Structure 1
Amino acid sequence: MHEMSVALAVIDQVETAAAEAGDVTAVRSVRLLVGELAGVVPDSLAFCFELACAGTLLEGAELFTEAVPGRARCASCSHEWAVGMPPRLTCPECEAAGTDLLAGRELQIAAVQWETGGPAHAPVREPISEES
Protein backbone atom coordinates (compact mmCIF):
# COMPACT_ATOMS: atom_id res chain seq x y z
CA MET A 1 0.00 0.00 0.00
CA HIS A 2 1.47 3.34 -1.12
CA GLU A 3 0.04 5.21 1.87
CA MET A 4 1.88 2.94 4.32
CA SER A 5 5.24 3.86 2.77
CA VAL A 6 4.28 7.54 2.99
CA ALA A 7 3.26 7.12 6.66
CA LEU A 8 6.55 5.37 7.46
CA ALA A 9 8.52 8.13 5.72
CA VAL A 10 6.65 10.81 7.69
CA ILE A 11 7.34 9.00 10.96
CA ASP A 12 11.02 8.62 10.09
CA GLN A 13 11.39 12.32 9.26
CA VAL A 14 9.53 13.46 12.38
CA GLU A 15 11.60 11.14 14.60
CA THR A 16 14.80 12.50 13.00
CA ALA A 17 13.67 16.10 13.61
CA ALA A 18 12.71 15.24 17.21
CA ALA A 19 16.13 13.65 17.82
CA GLU A 20 17.85 16.75 16.44
CA ALA A 21 15.71 19.00 18.65
CA GLY A 22 16.55 16.93 21.71
CA ASP A 23 14.47 16.27 24.84
CA VAL A 24 11.26 15.51 22.89
CA THR A 25 9.04 13.29 25.01
CA ALA A 26 6.06 12.83 22.67
CA VAL A 27 4.70 13.97 19.33
CA ARG A 28 1.13 15.24 19.59
CA SER A 29 0.27 16.08 15.98
CA VAL A 30 1.59 16.19 12.44
CA ARG A 31 0.14 18.42 9.71
CA LEU A 32 0.73 17.42 6.10
CA LEU A 33 0.11 19.29 2.87
CA VAL A 34 -1.32 16.76 0.40
CA GLY A 35 -1.67 17.82 -3.20
CA GLU A 36 -4.74 16.78 -5.12
CA LEU A 37 -2.45 15.24 -7.75
CA ALA A 38 -0.06 13.53 -5.31
CA GLY A 39 -1.77 10.16 -5.63
CA VAL A 40 -2.40 9.86 -1.88
CA VAL A 41 -5.78 9.02 -0.35
CA PRO A 42 -5.96 11.00 2.92
CA ASP A 43 -8.26 8.50 4.72
CA SER A 44 -5.97 5.60 3.81
CA LEU A 45 -2.96 7.62 4.90
CA ALA A 46 -4.58 8.39 8.27
CA PHE A 47 -5.31 4.69 8.81
CA CYS A 48 -1.75 3.68 7.92
CA PHE A 49 -0.28 6.49 10.01
CA GLU A 50 -2.14 5.34 13.12
CA LEU A 51 -0.93 1.75 12.64
CA ALA A 52 2.66 2.75 11.86
CA CYS A 53 2.93 5.07 14.88
CA ALA A 54 2.43 2.21 17.36
CA GLY A 55 5.51 1.81 19.53
CA THR A 56 7.16 5.01 18.28
CA LEU A 57 7.57 8.53 19.64
CA LEU A 58 4.48 9.38 17.55
CA GLU A 59 2.16 6.83 19.15
CA GLY A 60 -1.19 8.55 19.71
CA ALA A 61 -0.29 11.54 17.51
CA GLU A 62 -3.04 13.09 15.41
CA LEU A 63 -2.55 13.42 11.68
CA PHE A 64 -4.05 16.48 10.00
CA THR A 65 -4.03 16.66 6.22
CA GLU A 66 -4.52 19.87 4.32
CA ALA A 67 -5.61 19.43 0.72
CA VAL A 68 -3.75 21.50 -1.87
CA PRO A 69 -5.77 21.97 -5.07
CA GLY A 70 -4.07 21.44 -8.40
CA ARG A 71 -3.40 24.67 -10.31
CA ALA A 72 -1.83 25.22 -13.71
CA ARG A 73 -0.73 28.14 -15.89
CA CYS A 74 -0.78 28.20 -19.68
CA ALA A 75 2.66 28.73 -21.19
CA SER A 76 1.07 30.49 -24.18
CA CYS A 77 -1.48 32.90 -22.70
CA SER A 78 -0.59 32.84 -18.96
CA HIS A 79 -4.15 31.93 -17.94
CA GLU A 80 -4.32 30.09 -14.57
CA TRP A 81 -6.94 27.51 -13.61
CA ALA A 82 -7.82 24.76 -11.15
CA VAL A 83 -6.96 21.51 -12.91
CA GLY A 84 -9.45 19.33 -10.97
CA MET A 85 -9.67 15.54 -11.01
CA PRO A 86 -9.16 14.06 -13.47
CA PRO A 87 -6.74 16.87 -14.23
CA ARG A 88 -7.38 19.18 -17.15
CA LEU A 89 -3.93 20.06 -18.46
CA THR A 90 -4.96 21.92 -21.60
CA CYS A 91 -5.72 25.61 -21.27
CA PRO A 92 -9.46 26.31 -20.99
CA GLU A 93 -8.89 29.75 -22.60
CA CYS A 94 -6.75 28.98 -25.67
CA GLU A 95 -6.67 25.14 -25.65
CA ALA A 96 -2.83 25.12 -25.71
CA ALA A 97 -1.23 21.97 -24.32
CA GLY A 98 1.88 23.66 -22.91
CA THR A 99 1.11 24.12 -19.23
CA ASP A 100 3.11 24.60 -16.05
CA LEU A 101 1.75 22.80 -13.01
CA LEU A 102 1.87 25.35 -10.18
CA ALA A 103 0.40 23.32 -7.30
CA GLY A 104 -1.16 20.00 -6.51
CA ARG A 105 1.76 17.57 -6.29
CA GLU A 106 2.72 18.54 -2.72
CA LEU A 107 3.35 15.90 -0.10
CA GLN A 108 5.04 17.87 2.64
CA ILE A 109 5.25 18.00 6.40
CA ALA A 110 3.98 21.47 7.27
CA ALA A 111 4.13 21.35 11.07
CA VAL A 112 4.78 19.06 13.99
CA GLN A 113 3.62 19.65 17.54
CA TRP A 114 5.53 17.87 20.28
CA GLU A 115 6.14 17.96 23.99
CA THR A 116 9.55 18.94 25.30
CA GLY A 117 11.24 21.23 27.77
CA GLY A 118 11.55 23.82 24.95
CA PRO A 119 9.09 25.19 22.36
CA ALA A 120 6.04 23.01 21.80
CA HIS A 121 5.76 23.71 18.07
CA ALA A 122 8.48 22.82 15.60
CA PRO A 123 7.79 23.51 11.93
CA VAL A 124 9.29 21.05 9.48
CA ARG A 125 9.13 22.01 5.82
CA GLU A 126 10.57 19.16 3.78
CA PRO A 127 9.08 17.15 0.94
CA ILE A 128 8.38 13.62 2.06
CA SER A 129 10.78 11.06 0.66
CA GLU A 130 9.49 7.53 0.28
CA GLU A 131 13.02 6.18 -0.05
CA SER A 132 13.38 5.97 3.74
Structure 2
Amino acid sequence: MTAPPDRSWTRRARQSYRGSSATERTPMHEMAITQSVVDAVCEHAAGRRVHGVTLEVGALCALVPDSMQFCFGLATEGTVAEGAQLDIDVHPATGHCRSCGDDFVLADFILLCPCGSADVEVTAGRDIRIRSMEVS
Protein backbone atom coordinates (compact mmCIF):
# COMPACT_ATOMS: atom_id res chain seq x y z
CA MET A 1 0.00 0.00 0.00
CA THR A 2 1.41 3.41 -0.92
CA ALA A 3 1.43 6.37 1.41
CA PRO A 4 -1.02 9.19 0.74
CA PRO A 5 0.44 12.08 -1.24
CA ASP A 6 2.11 14.86 0.70
CA ARG A 7 -0.34 17.76 0.82
CA SER A 8 1.89 20.10 2.84
CA TRP A 9 2.02 22.41 -0.19
CA THR A 10 -1.62 23.36 0.50
CA ARG A 11 -0.66 24.74 3.90
CA ARG A 12 2.21 26.71 2.35
CA ALA A 13 -0.03 27.94 -0.45
CA ARG A 14 -2.70 29.10 2.00
CA GLN A 15 -0.09 30.88 4.10
CA SER A 16 1.30 32.51 0.97
CA TYR A 17 -2.22 33.44 -0.13
CA ARG A 18 -3.13 35.04 3.19
CA GLY A 19 0.18 36.78 3.65
CA SER A 20 0.43 38.59 0.32
CA SER A 21 -1.23 41.46 -1.43
CA ALA A 22 -4.26 40.90 -3.64
CA THR A 23 -2.14 41.02 -6.80
CA GLU A 24 0.39 38.46 -5.50
CA ARG A 25 -1.99 35.84 -4.09
CA THR A 26 -1.68 32.17 -4.89
CA PRO A 27 -4.29 31.35 -7.53
CA MET A 28 -6.50 28.70 -5.92
CA HIS A 29 -8.33 27.83 -9.18
CA GLU A 30 -5.02 27.01 -10.83
CA MET A 31 -3.79 25.26 -7.69
CA ALA A 32 -6.66 22.76 -7.65
CA ILE A 33 -6.36 22.01 -11.35
CA THR A 34 -2.58 21.75 -11.19
CA GLN A 35 -2.78 19.37 -8.24
CA SER A 36 -5.09 17.12 -10.25
CA VAL A 37 -2.61 17.16 -13.13
CA VAL A 38 0.31 16.35 -10.81
CA ASP A 39 -1.65 13.50 -9.17
CA ALA A 40 -2.40 11.98 -12.59
CA VAL A 41 1.20 12.40 -13.79
CA CYS A 42 2.68 10.85 -10.63
CA GLU A 43 0.25 7.92 -10.77
CA HIS A 44 1.02 7.27 -14.42
CA ALA A 45 4.78 7.57 -13.80
CA ALA A 46 4.55 4.55 -11.46
CA GLY A 47 7.57 5.56 -9.38
CA ARG A 48 9.73 6.70 -12.30
CA ARG A 49 11.22 10.20 -12.20
CA VAL A 50 9.24 12.82 -14.16
CA HIS A 51 11.40 15.35 -16.01
CA GLY A 52 8.80 17.18 -18.06
CA VAL A 53 5.07 17.55 -18.64
CA THR A 54 3.32 19.18 -21.59
CA LEU A 55 -0.27 20.35 -21.23
CA GLU A 56 -2.78 21.46 -23.82
CA VAL A 57 -5.10 24.04 -22.30
CA GLY A 58 -8.16 25.44 -24.03
CA ALA A 59 -8.54 29.21 -24.06
CA LEU A 60 -11.94 29.00 -22.34
CA CYS A 61 -10.49 27.24 -19.29
CA ALA A 62 -9.63 30.63 -17.77
CA LEU A 63 -6.21 29.46 -16.61
CA VAL A 64 -3.25 31.80 -16.31
CA PRO A 65 -0.13 29.95 -17.52
CA ASP A 66 2.24 31.83 -15.17
CA SER A 67 0.01 30.96 -12.23
CA MET A 68 -0.04 27.32 -13.25
CA GLN A 69 3.76 27.33 -13.46
CA PHE A 70 3.94 28.65 -9.89
CA CYS A 71 1.40 26.10 -8.66
CA PHE A 72 3.20 23.27 -10.46
CA GLY A 73 6.34 24.01 -8.45
CA LEU A 74 4.38 23.82 -5.20
CA ALA A 75 2.33 20.76 -6.13
CA THR A 76 5.33 18.69 -7.24
CA GLU A 77 7.36 19.21 -4.05
CA GLY A 78 8.18 15.85 -2.52
CA THR A 79 6.87 13.88 -5.53
CA VAL A 80 8.54 12.04 -8.41
CA ALA A 81 7.79 15.17 -10.49
CA GLU A 82 9.71 17.59 -8.28
CA GLY A 83 11.87 19.81 -10.47
CA ALA A 84 10.06 18.79 -13.67
CA GLN A 85 9.59 21.27 -16.50
CA LEU A 86 5.98 22.27 -17.27
CA ASP A 87 5.17 23.37 -20.82
CA ILE A 88 1.72 24.81 -21.47
CA ASP A 89 0.25 25.13 -24.97
CA VAL A 90 -2.86 27.31 -24.99
CA HIS A 91 -5.17 26.42 -27.85
CA PRO A 92 -7.82 28.80 -29.16
CA ALA A 93 -11.49 28.18 -28.60
CA THR A 94 -13.64 27.44 -31.63
CA GLY A 95 -17.34 27.49 -32.24
CA HIS A 96 -19.91 26.39 -34.78
CA CYS A 97 -22.85 28.62 -35.67
CA ARG A 98 -26.08 26.68 -35.96
CA SER A 99 -27.66 29.55 -37.90
CA CYS A 100 -25.19 30.08 -40.74
CA GLY A 101 -23.09 26.91 -40.42
CA ASP A 102 -19.81 28.83 -40.04
CA ASP A 103 -16.93 27.46 -37.94
CA PHE A 104 -14.89 30.22 -36.32
CA VAL A 105 -12.38 31.08 -33.59
CA LEU A 106 -13.90 32.51 -30.43
CA ALA A 107 -12.02 35.66 -29.48
CA ASP A 108 -13.40 35.73 -25.91
CA PHE A 109 -16.13 34.33 -23.67
CA ILE A 110 -18.89 36.08 -25.62
CA LEU A 111 -20.37 33.38 -27.79
CA LEU A 112 -21.41 35.29 -30.88
CA CYS A 113 -20.89 34.29 -34.49
CA PRO A 114 -19.57 36.96 -36.85
CA CYS A 115 -23.00 36.75 -38.53
CA GLY A 116 -24.52 38.05 -35.28
CA SER A 117 -26.19 34.84 -34.14
CA ALA A 118 -25.91 33.68 -30.54
CA ASP A 119 -26.89 30.12 -31.49
CA VAL A 120 -23.29 28.93 -31.14
CA GLU A 121 -21.93 25.57 -30.08
CA VAL A 122 -18.45 25.57 -28.53
CA THR A 123 -16.45 22.90 -30.36
CA ALA A 124 -13.04 23.34 -28.68
CA GLY A 125 -11.37 25.32 -25.94
CA ARG A 126 -12.87 23.97 -22.72
CA ASP A 127 -10.52 21.08 -22.04
CA ILE A 128 -7.16 20.40 -20.45
CA ARG A 129 -5.06 17.48 -21.68
CA ILE A 130 -1.79 16.02 -20.55
CA ARG A 131 -0.27 15.72 -24.01
CA SER A 132 3.04 14.18 -22.93
CA MET A 133 5.36 13.51 -20.04
CA GLU A 134 9.04 12.69 -19.98
CA VAL A 135 10.06 10.02 -17.46
CA SER A 136 13.12 7.93 -16.70
TM category (shorter chain) comes to: 0.7 to 0.9
Mapped contact 1:34–1:106 kept (Cα < 8 A) = yes
**Which of 53, 77, 90 in structure 1 is aligned with 2:112?**
90
Kindly indicate whether residue 69 of structure 2 is the aligned counterpart of residue 46 of structure 1. yes
**Which of 10, 31, 35 in structure 1 is aligned with 2:54?**
31
Q: Secondary structure at the match of 1:76?
A: coil
More helix by share: 2
Deviations 1:59-81 (A, max 9, x none): 01000000110111101211111
Structure 1 residue ranges, 4+ long, deviating more than 2 angstroms after superposition: none
RMSD, aligned α-carbons: 1.2
Question: Could you list the runs of 5+ residues in structure 1 that have no partner in the other structure?
Answer: 116-132
Aligned residues: 109
Q: Could you say which residue in structure 2 is the equivalent of 1:58?
A: 81
Deviation at 1:45, TM superposition (A): 0.4
**Which of 100, 104, 113 in structure 1 is aligned with 2:125?**
104
More strand by share: 1
Deviation at 1:33, TM superposition (A): 0.6
Letter in 1 for 2:63: V
Deviations 1:70-116 (A, max 9, x none): 1111012111111112x3312112x221111111112111111101x
Letter in 1 for 2:125: G
